[in-house]
Each structure stands twice: as structure tokens, then as C-alpha cells.
């Protein structure tokens, strides 16, 4: 269900509303999960190929959480935002750096599945960083 909501939200952002319906978004979510699960053949062990990307996805989510906390603390005024802002910068920078290193490693090993998924995660991590910076810069403090 969460993946369906994410699919619908993503296509709404790209103004592709015809793909945001309950049934179409569910189909896209289920089809992508099946494709990943069986990407390397029978037995459903294809998802294990994605294990090297788990850490990057986890760190991307941690960076997103820190960005949200930083923006919230900026609205409270003063320098409270520094408490989460510095870790957010470090987390996002290190995550993007690791994703770039992964991309080159997966490229030299000719692992197309990991290259594509890692590239998508890299794109989303950069997008999150840019959107977070834009939001942070546009927020006014309560003083």
C-alpha cells in the first residue's frame, strides 16, 4: 500500500495524473516488485542482488529525516537548526558520495540491475538534497 501511495505521489509530481489511479498505481507497484524479485531467475532470489544498495537507501532516508528536522528547527528561530543541520549535511554528502562510488563499481562489473537501481537512488538523493536546501533557504524563523 505504501509503495502504491509513493507511485501515485511521484506521478502527481510529474503531472502524469493518468498513472495515479488506485488500480494503475497498484499494478505499477506490484509489477516493479515482481520484476525485482525475479530479476535473476527462478526462486525469487533476485531481490538479494539488491542487498548492496540497502545501506544507501537507509542513509538516504536518514538524510531526509535530518533535513525535515532541520527545516522544522529553523522555523523555531535562532540557531537550533544547527543541531540537525550539520549531521544532515554530512549524511547527505556521504550518501551521495557512496552512491557515486557504487555507480562506478557496478559499471565496471557490468551489473545492469544494480547500475539502474543505484542510478535511480542517486538521482533521488540529489533531488532530496536540492529540495531540502531550497526549502531551508525559503523558511522564515519565528523570532
> What is the domain count for the chain?
2
Residue 143 lies in a domain: no
Taking only the tens of pLDDT, the chain with its 143 residues reads: 777 788 888 888 888 888 778 888 888 888 887 877 776 655 556 667 777 788 888 999 999 999 999 999 999 988 999 999 999 999 999 999 999 999 999 989 888 888 998 999 999 999 999 999 999 999 876 65
Q: Which domain holds residue 1?
A: 1-37
Residues 95 and 128 in one domain: yes
Residues whose CB is less than 8 angstroms from the CB of residue 36 and which lie 6 or more positions away in sequence, other chains included: 46, 47, 50, 117
CA distances from 66 to 37, 71, 98 (A): 31, 9, 18
- Rounded to two decimals, what is the model's pTM? 0.72
Amino acid at each position: 500500500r505504501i509503495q502504491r501511495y509513493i507511485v501515485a505521489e511521484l506521478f502527481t509530481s510529474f503531472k502524469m495524473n493518468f498513472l495515479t489511479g488506485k488500480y494503475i498505481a497498484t499494478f505499477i507497484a506490484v509489477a516493479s516488485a515482481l520484476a525485482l524479485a525475479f530479476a535473476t531467475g527462478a526462486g525469487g532470489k533476485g531481490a538479494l542482488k539488491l542487498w548492496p544498495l540497502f545501506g544507501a537507501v537507509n542513509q538516504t532516508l536518514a538524510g531526509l529525516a535530518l533535513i525535515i528536522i532541520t527545516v522544522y528547527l529553523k522555523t523555531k528561530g535562532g540557531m537550533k537548526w544547527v543541531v540537525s543541520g550539520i549531521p544532515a549535511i554530512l549524511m547527505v554528502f556521504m550518501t551521495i558520495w557512496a552512491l557515486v562510488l557504487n555507480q562506478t563499481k557496478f559499471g565496471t562489473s557490468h551489473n545492469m540491475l544494480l547500475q539502474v537501481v543505484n542510478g535511480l537512488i542517486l538521482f533521488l538523493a540529489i533531488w532530496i538534497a536540492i529540495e531540502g536546501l531550497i526549502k531551508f533557504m525559503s523558511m522564515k524563523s519565528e523570532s
